[in-house]
Amino acid sequence: MVRRVLAVVTLLACAVVPLSADLRVVSKLEIRKVESTEAPNPFFAMLGQAMAQQMELMNGAETTTTIGDGVIRTEASKPMGGMPAGTITILRSDGTMIGINTTEKTYFRTRMPDMSAMVAAGIKPIITVTRTGEFSTLLGQRVERVVLDMRMPLPIPAEARAQMPPEFPTEVAMTIENWTAEAYKAYGTQMIKGNPAMAALGLGEVADIGFAMRQIVRTQMMAGYEMETSVTSVSEISAPAGFFDVPEGFTEVPPPAGVGGGRGGRGR
């Protein structure tokens, strides 16, 4: 569940206001062990080790992301989200997700995960935004450290909980530490507001914190580990025609197992 949320947070795309240009961002992912003075919940500790082994395949991945009006294009150097290295992912504001394999000249079309069912089940996160007022400079941009604390309740019926050990968790906690640039705020806002998955989870309230130039994610689901994404290059560009479309002559195939929230229609 949280893995899906992390994936959606990493691959957001939506249209809010027209942008004067497209934003091209190159970033690097690092997953590392961290020490903690608190003993992890035994259930999360076991799950965290398993997730960390899977996430290690992504460690060191370089991702190139281009944000346009109502669309975002991502290409990663390593396998991510169940897709092979080099897959181009295109996300549109209507929830459509397209994966393009340039090696095999194929593509698939699906939908972003529908979070409304999670909200209906009581899994809407409680979010606290803390603007620290701590400023620094990254890639020539003035950034502020902004911390998001998220707590997502686990909707376990009372009769089922009565059969569980007392230490079984009742919620999942996540801390997202951001260093946000005001200069690219419009792109950060567009990446959250209007996105159907994020709207369902009620994350629109964090849309105006700015564009994250650096981000560190810590969650109980990966106890003993943290994920840091650092922007290594950022620039405003004019993407060429067809950049956010499926190339001509590519063949549509079914989406990989576990990717997206359902099969979409054919065509571009």
**What per-residue confidence (pLDDT) applies to 210?**
87
Instruction: Name the DSSP letter for residue 205.
Output: G
* pLDDT recorded at residue 150: 87
Statement: residue 10 has pLDDT above 60: no
Q: Please report, to the nearest 10 degrees, the dihedral formed by the alpha carbons of residues 50, 99, 262, 174 taken in order.
A: 40
Going by pLDDT thresholds of 50, 70 and 90, the confidence category of residue 158 is: confident
DSSP H helices in 162-227? 185-190, 196-200
The pLDDT confidence band at residue 265, using thresholds 50, 70 and 90, is very low
Locate 235 and state its tokens. 């620039």
29 pLDDT above the threshold of 70: yes
Look at residue 190 in the predicted model and tell me its pLDDT.
72
pLDDT, one tens digit per residue, over 48-84 is 667 767 777 788 889 999 999 888 999 988 877 677 8
The pLDDT tens digits for 78-117 are 877 677 888 999 988 888 889 999 999 999 999 876 666 6
Q: What is the pLDDT of residue 191?
A: 74
pTM, two decimals, is 0.77
Residue 76 parent element (H or E): strand 71-76
Q: Identify which has the larger pLDDT, 34 or 176.
A: 176
Least confident span in 6-10, 101-105, 199-203, 213-217: 6-10
Look at strands 171-181 and 96-101 and give their pairing: unpaired
Give CA–CA dist 258/40, Å, rounded. Answer: 28
CA distance 180 to 115: 26
Rounded Cα distance, 79 and 59, in Å: 10
Between 199 and 30, the more confident residue is 30
pLDDT in the model for residue 112: 76
Over the chain, what is the mean pLDDT?
79
Structure tokens at 226: 């943290």
Pull the structure tokens for residue 140: 């020539």
Radius of gyration for the chain, computed over Cα atoms and rounded to the nearest angstrom: 19
pLDDT at position 16 is 42
CA torsion angle 178 69 8 225 (round to 10):
-30
Percent of the chain that is helix, strand, coil (3-state, to 5): 20, 40, 40
Burial call 171-186: b when 16+ CB within 10 Å, e when fewer = ebbbbbbbbbbebbeb
Task: Summarize the confidence of residues 135-142 as an average pLDDT.
Answer: 96
How many angstroms separate the Cα of 142 from the Cα of each of 47, 93, 111, 170?
37, 29, 36, 39
Burial 83-119 (b: 16+ CB within 10 A, else e): beeebbbbbbbebbbbbbbeeeeebbbbbbbebeebe
Is the CA virtual torsion 257, 261, 264, 268 positive or negative? negative
